[in-house]
A and B are shown apart, each in its own frame.
Chain A
């Protein structure tokens, strides 16, 4: 008797119909009685103090209920720890409305609460804030002398600092036959999910709050609010079943959450606070980063020397770090390596994880450097990478838990038609456009964390699985349902995954591509425990038909426990529940990764991307005409939603290489293109033929499911492949991103 598996099947998203009919509700969309609206006022200066606030004009607007600022806010704690969140880097977290100190441009300084949205917005525009301005420093380049090591903390445990040197880099570099040195730069980038941050807080009367928040972690928001306002966790419920994109921006609670709760508690009313698009540029972001690479190789194409340094912005109050320089030596086994990663504190807000944090930054430098060396060596870029293929991670002296990158190269190259690539620039033309081909490798570390879930089998024959985890569009809802369904051998319709609610078992924030591995493994563990419990309950039933069969001699399928060797012998699961006096059977289970085991391996997803670009010779316009990304990320749970994740990543890669950057005016201390008209992301006309291949990969080490996660890996190899393709088309290597039209003229 064989079981039907839903894992690996391209199921449609379970919530699809809700999303396409507009019935899916996001944080600002819950209809509640007597709702008040809050609108935030942001600092006009970059650094200094608030001297006074004139509220008179604001309060004179009809419908204004209250104005909140540092002088009249409700009490807030004084200890850093109570402002901490699951993604807080080492340092002292920002405290909204805490005092009169201004630490960064756009800092929220007040918010106005009114009976209507329009009144709140208008009244907020009338608030007069008098500032005493101080000198500020936001200029990364001008402050390179302040570069220092990041402070250590939980963040550096999850995102490790670079390993120490290996061999003698300087000597090997000097002795190399071919050398390439590159200096790279990209500016800050802001996540800009389509849904703007919003929180609707429902004041339940008995001191309890129900909070609809835009977040990537309901447990995270719950703990944060409890700590900040001194509430018991059981009085704070955070709900977020639908989240209009996060990309990392929802990994930390944002200030609208604080304000919505503060006003609700103070006014004992229901309050909604939404950000506007300009305010979406006033918190965490991908840090502006300078990079310096020096790679050396022998004539036969063996990489011998790697030096990769990165200098990134952080704030003056927290040390945000990401993994930028560690990957070159994981991918390419050179013996002489020095890596360095430094932070430069500035008067800007703390950066924050943004889709493929660190990896997408570092690989942009690493993979373009690799192509330049290949060019100097007269080697095909793919051949050069194959000659330096790492069968073992020499940087940490560990084996890979699994690595099918070679197969990614092979399948990707074949699908793309890589062998037709012309090695020299300006060889291929279509009309007045130059055509170029480029490729890149990709790598993303697999993160392991504990997770928890409950599983319940009901009298109606339904399996209910619960976790507080969110689904920001990754497909978590559907994939968790599939995992649970397979464990109990049920059709998807009989399974209900309850998520996006802090009342369910605590979940880590949803990021880093680890959710499928972490929560999926917990769901599996809970289902296994439930099966065990059901099996043992069945054994004490009258007329138990399975005799002395052990659990492994049976199989859960079609809503029954069935004897493997004689499928006609079965106990319907609902009979077991009936025997249990009709009471549902419920279990709760934590899944804790076996660190001792997994730490012996380097665990990473890999990818290879192949790109074709057309460059208009006269105008410098670049068009990514087609691209193929081949991914090896362990078990793919749902190829339909997984493909979309990779496609989305590829679009982000186009954006990194060619579109997005938040421009900072160093004199004003402010970002200047803070709207979607001037902050460019790819539109439909920019996105052409994209192709995704999932290379089969089995991994028995990383987690219970063998799933590595796919949220970031699609981004990482795309941008460098584009830059390399532009070089192949034009002979021009651009090292300041995004590439602008003028760079190619």
Chain B
């Protein structure tokens, strides 16, 4: 039986997180989400379920949006990860971040980083042509506060800006 961390071994994991090279030494069972939050102090990425059911932990990995709670950190060795902290800063907000503020697309703010990462990656992939399509493509990101319509409005506003 696996007794603990020492017997499972510690693996070197190299990630580029928000354009910065980060080297971690982690047991294999550490998720990318916990690696970001507990080991790199990047708590902008949220944990809403740890089971791939809420989207709060969405990050962008090599241009794809992924659920970091369903991803072991070691699986992403060598990957490029963008978290909410890398999308924009307070002085230089990404247009979608500004649109979220303008459209009041959040209340408690807990689902927000996941929504924004998801929206940014979706737009970058050139997807979401209609409101309905955007609603469908964003449906992996739950919002318990019910900011749904404002979130979709914000995404559409940014999509229209870039046209």
Contacts and interface: CB of A to CB of B under 8 A. Distances in A.
Nearest to A640: B104
A652 B148 CA distance: 11
Contacts of A686: 148
A118 B27 contact: yes
B34 A117 contact: yes
B65 interface: no
B3 A193 contact: no
B73 to A, nearest CB: 11
Contacts of B83: 22
Contact of A684 (B3, B108, B141): B141
B152 to A, nearest CB: 6
A687 B152 CA distance: 10
A445 B142 CA distance: 30
Contacts of B152: 684
Given A62-B5, A676-B51, A194 B56 contact: yes
A62 B6 contact: yes
A650 interface: yes
A676 B53 CA distance: 6
Given A13-B104, A684-B141, A194 B48 contact: yes
Given A60-B3, A644-B107, A690 B139 contact: no
Contacts, number: 200
Nearest to A638: B104
Interface string A634-667: 0000001101110111111000000000000000
B145 A21 contact: no
Chain B interface secondary structure, helix, strand, loop or mixed? Answer: loop
Interface string A1-42: 000000000001101111111111110110100000000000
Contact of B109 (A242, A640, A647, A649): A242
Name the residue in B50, B109, B136, B141 with the highest tally of chain A Cβ atoms < 10 Å from its Cβ: B109
Contacts of B50: 276-277
B43 A29 contact: yes
A231 interface: no
Interface residues of A, number: 68
A243 interface: yes
A63 B27 CA distance: 13
A676 B142 contact: yes
Interface SS majority for chain A: loop
A195 to B, nearest CB: 4
A245 interface: yes
Interface in B97-140: 97, 100-102, 104, 106-113, 116, 132, 134-136, 138-140
Most buried by A among B34, B112, B116, B152: B112
Contacts of B101: 12-13, 16-17, 20
Interface stretch (A65-73, A457-465, A472-480, A694-702): A472-480
A192 B146 CA distance: 12
Nearest to B86: A22
B49 A684 contact: no
B143 interface: yes
B149 interface: yes
Interface in B31-65: 34, 37-38, 41-51, 53-54, 56
A27 to B, nearest CB: 11
Contacts of B46: 26, 194-195, 244
Contact of A24 (B51, B109, B142, B148): B109
Interface of B: 3-7, 27, 29-30, 34, 37-38, 41-51, 53-54, 56, 83-85, 87-90, 93, 97, 100-102, 104, 106-113, 116, 132, 134-136, 138-152
16 contacts: A17-B93, A17-B97, A20-B97, A23-B90, A192-B144, A193-B108, A242-B109, A245-B145, A277-B48, A675-B53, A681-B144, A683-B139, A683-B140, A684-B139, A684-B152, A685-B132
